[in-house]
Amino acid sequence: MTVAQHVGEQKIVEKSLQEIETLRGFVHIPAKGRDELFGDLSVPSVVTLNGSPARLDRYGRIWSPLLRRYAKGTQVRISKTENGFLIEPANNRERSVLINHEEKHALSPSDREATANNRLYFRAGSVFIYNDDILTTDVIENKSIDLIVTSPPYNVGIEYADYKDNIPYEEYLIFTRKWLAKCYDLVKNDGRLCLNIPLDKNKGGQQSVCADITTVAKEVGWKYHATVIWNEQNISRRTAWGSWLSASAPFVIAPVEVVVVLYRENWHKRSGSLKSDIARNEFISWTNGVWNFSGESRNKIGHPAPFPIELPRRCIKLFSFIGDTVLDPFLGSGTTLLACAETNRAGIGVEINKNYCEMAKKRLESSGIYQRKLTPEG
């Protein structure tokens, strides 16, 4: 539905975004609302959308990558500003997340530093833990990260302290879209993302989790490079056969997870020290996209869903240079930062729960982090 209206002197068009618009990053102003909104603007022309460069084409479409961060069907309000347009969700809940997100662009370096100090839970050399929400955090500068290695909540009913892990699947994908959009802003143009997620979901209705998250990632701008199959080798006793020895409704379960490898603009990495520390045998073995190593024990670590250090270690050595900055937006027990300290990368972890921040801090301390001298050159 499209509504063109006047609020005081301001002209506003309201519409629900189509899938193609969120996929490709444009908003098509319907003919009915165009005169109201465009006034005497010539088309095509260069304009701004929420302060960022955008393009208005002759068909009445405003193009901007910012639009890719919305979910299809989001009701938005578009209004005219001095140099272009402002778009905001009509719905309050969506708005608070997106506006928080956009406001951070306005933070001065000193404001960011003050916020960062406020949120900083622990620091040792170039390894930082922030007790914050990745959706709204202001502590990390845009385009400052070389590599993200992370495992987000899987929405499989794990009992996290500050996160509900059994929300409706559609809602989970909206949460996924938001954090993927946020992380997209944080990486450099040749920045990368190694995303550890399940291949699929069997409990509470089958879902193609890996395919769906990869699609959402591409919609917010990430480019696809590869998928590694991680064979966790956890040969647990199976009880859910569906229909035993019958074709009526058997269950098929692949006991693997994946690491989806994505990047922002350019796969060829030209920033950083350009110095690698990967051994010949590691390179040969890890570029084979089937990885075989065991999962981590929850009891041993004390966190409900840790990954083993081997996972971030491989991603870091394969996809970043010595001295690069690595981010884990869902830090949990701090495994990615342990791998950063071990491989001489700067590391930033964001974790919403204070107890998990403490756990990560303790793990770093007992790994001898203070004895390590982290330098950009290794």
Ligand X SMILES: C[S@@+](CC[C@H](N)C(=O)[O-])C[C@H]1O[C@@H](n2cnc3c(N)ncnc32)[C@H](O)[C@@H]1O
Give the footprint of ligand X on this chain (CB under 6 A). 133-135, 151, 153, 160, 162-163, 303, 305-307, 330, 332-333, 335, 350-353, 356
Closest CB to ligand X among residues 165, 190: 165
Closest CB to ligand X among residues 11, 363: 363
Classify burial at 340, counting beta carbons within 10 Å of its beta carbon; exposed 0-12, middle 13-18, buried 19 or more. buried
Closest CB to ligand X among residues 12, 195: 195
- Closest CB 39 distance from ligand X, rounded Å: 41
Coil, helix or strand at residue 43:
coil
- Closest CB 152 distance from ligand X, rounded Å: 6
- Closest CB 352 distance from ligand X, rounded Å: 4
- Closest CB 240 distance from ligand X, rounded Å: 23
The position carrying tokens 């479409």 is 61
Q: Where are the beta strands (DSSP E) in the chain?
A: 3-7, 10-16, 26-28, 45-49, 52-56, 61-63, 75-80, 84-89, 120-124, 127-131, 145-150, 187-198, 223-231, 256-263, 290-292, 325-328, 346-351
CA distance 291 to 317: 14
Closest CB to ligand X among residues 15, 303: 303
Report cis status (omega within 30 of 0) of the bond before 109: no
- Around Cβ 20, how many Cβ atoms within 10 Å? 10
- Closest CB 251 distance from ligand X, rounded Å: 24
Closest CB to ligand X among residues 33, 349: 349
Residue nearest to ligand X (CB): 332
Structure tokens at 179: 């954090």
The single-letter code of the amino acid at 172 is Y
Picking from 367, 365, 370, the residue whose alpha carbon sits closest to that of residue 313 is 367
- Closest CB 305 distance from ligand X, rounded Å: 4
DSSP 106: G
Closest CB to ligand X among residues 80, 177: 177
